[in-house]
Amino acid sequence: QQRRGFRVSAPAAIQVTVRDALNQALDEELERDERVFLLGEEVAQYDGAYKISRGLWKKYGDKRVIDTPISEMGFAGIAVGAAMAGLRPVCEFMTFNFSMQAIDQVINSAAKTCYMSAGSIGVPIVFRGPNGASAGVAAQHSQCFAAWYGHCPGLKVVSPWSAEDAKGLLKASIRDDNPVVMLENELLYGVPFEMSEQAQSKEFVIPIGKAKIERQGTHVTLVSHSRPVGHCLEAATVLAKEGVECEVINLRTIRPMDIETVEASVVKTNHLVTVEGGWPQFGVGAEICARIMEGPAFNYLDAPAVRVTGADVPMPYAKILEDNCIPQVKDIVFAVKKALNI
């Protein structure tokens, strides 16, 4: 065709918001497997508190998309029991701060049952919803639970950044035979990302436990998950103007953690900076630093690893204080320069 004067071009990638990517994933999995159902507060008639489940109740009805009372302990328990009985529930928390109401169900029931039953009882369930800081919602709605849930054996924990992450990880989580905690970010829901032709397929899944290198670099490794991945890419652009090339790794999965990708990058760059919205003590960054120190990549470090984290305080309400509690691009730039001693 090119010889005859026609231009052959691959289908262009399209712009999709994280909200729409999650909606697509839920729609496709509800259609694919009749055992899948969604439950949570306002997910049905109201189309979801964040409009993630928009249109699904009208399409699939009351048995597949279920509004629940405001009782996380109750509906999480119903979902865990349903999973044990062979269904594949997707349990939405309006914010992961309120998953604390259901912590007994998530940990003592979902996470431990397969192990304690010697594999005879599976719990294929997804707990999902917004995690970490939003905007102007203070301490009761702003905590990051990546370290909490990543600490617990029996769970898989994923933390998407882009629209492709959101779609591919949610579909993989629903299909997984283990309980999965999916930590989304409210501030990302309305953000559009480029979605490749491959990601638009109904069979597109992202393997749980595999990180993605979002930007290649040679001077320092930046490791992050969820919304701070975008901050890392912005910081990398700023630093590139000063001759510093950052390699940016999007973890995607907190547990199991893809430490091999991080190690390979550190061997190349000889410097490590971790970035997260959560608190510093026992955090995701602390785990990454410990794993690097204990492994073969430690011998390649030319300077101590540096962590960029949220401030060690409950989230304030005032915007100026909130901004100072959450890692900003300038904080990442400062940390990189500290690591490189420039």
How many angstroms separate the CA atoms of 99 and 92, rounded?
A: 9
Q: Which residues of 85-97 are buried (b: 16+ CB within 10 A; e: fewer)?
A: eebbbbbbbbbbb
Q: Indicate if 151 belongs to the active site.
A: no
Could you count the other beta carbons within 10 Å of the beta carbon of residue 296?
Answer: 10
- The catalytic residue among 28, 141, 186, 271 is 141
Q: Indicate if 247 belongs to the active site.
A: no
How many angstroms separate the CA atoms of 176 and 65, rounded?
A: 20
Coil, strand or helix at 138: coil
The answer to whether residues 280 and 306 touch, using CB atoms and an 8 Å cutoff, is no
How many angstroms separate the CA atoms of 248 and 232, rounded?
A: 7
- The catalytic residue among 41, 72, 92, 184 is 72
Range 135-140 contact pairs with CB under 8 angstroms and sequence separation of 24 or more: 135/187, 135/319, 135/322, 136/317, 136/319, 136/322, 137/315, 137/317, 138/315, 138/316, 138/317, 139/314, 139/315, 139/316, 140/97
Active-site residue numbers? 72, 141
